[in-house]
């Protein structure tokens, strides 16, 4: 009996040891899987960002080509009207100054309308 009980208890101890080792392996594998899942999410995010960036670059190139075509088509007209062909910065400055001029004119018109209404 004691021999059988010793065999059983050693067998139970071996099983417990095996179970503990397998649980450790499972924990390690779960940790590794979680890490790999995070890496996959990062890769997917990077891929999506790169795809969007490529699309935006393509759109930008197409628009620059359209601008180049328009410039070549209307360049002579602009040179005859403005005396030279303005660059982007000059156009932005001109648009800004005209916007300020329009706003100032609107303010003066509003003030004149207010003065006119108060004098009536």
pTM, full prediction: 0.45
How far apart, in Å, are the Cα atoms of 1 and each of 15, 25, 112?
21, 36, 117
Cβ atoms within 10 Å of 78's Cβ, excluding its own: 14
List pLDDT tens digits, range 42-71.
Answer: 999 999 999 999 999 999 999 999 988 887
Q: Where are the domains of the chain?
A: 2-85, 86-120
List pLDDT tens digits, range 67-112.
Answer: 888 877 777 777 777 677 777 888 899 899 999 999 999 999 999 9
Q: Chain-wide mean pLDDT for the chain?
A: 88
Q: Identify the residue whose tokens are 């010793």.
A: 6
Q: What percent of the chain has pLDDT over 70?
A: 92
């Amino acid at each position: 009996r004691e021999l059988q009980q010793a065999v059983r208890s050693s067998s139970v101890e071996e099983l417990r040891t095996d179970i503990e080792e397998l649980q450790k392996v499972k924990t390690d594998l779960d940790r590794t899987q979680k890490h790999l899942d995070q890496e996959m999410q990062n890769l997917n995010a990077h891929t999506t960002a790169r795809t969007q960036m490529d699309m935006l670059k393509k759109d930008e190139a197409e628009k620059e080509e359209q601008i180049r075509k328009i410039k070549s088509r209307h360049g002579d007209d602009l040179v005859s009207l403005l005396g030279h062909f303005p660059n982007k910065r000059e156009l932005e400055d001109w648009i800004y100054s005209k916007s300020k001029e329009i706003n100032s004119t609107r303010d003066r018109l509003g003030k004149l309308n207010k003065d006119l209404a108060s004098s009536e």
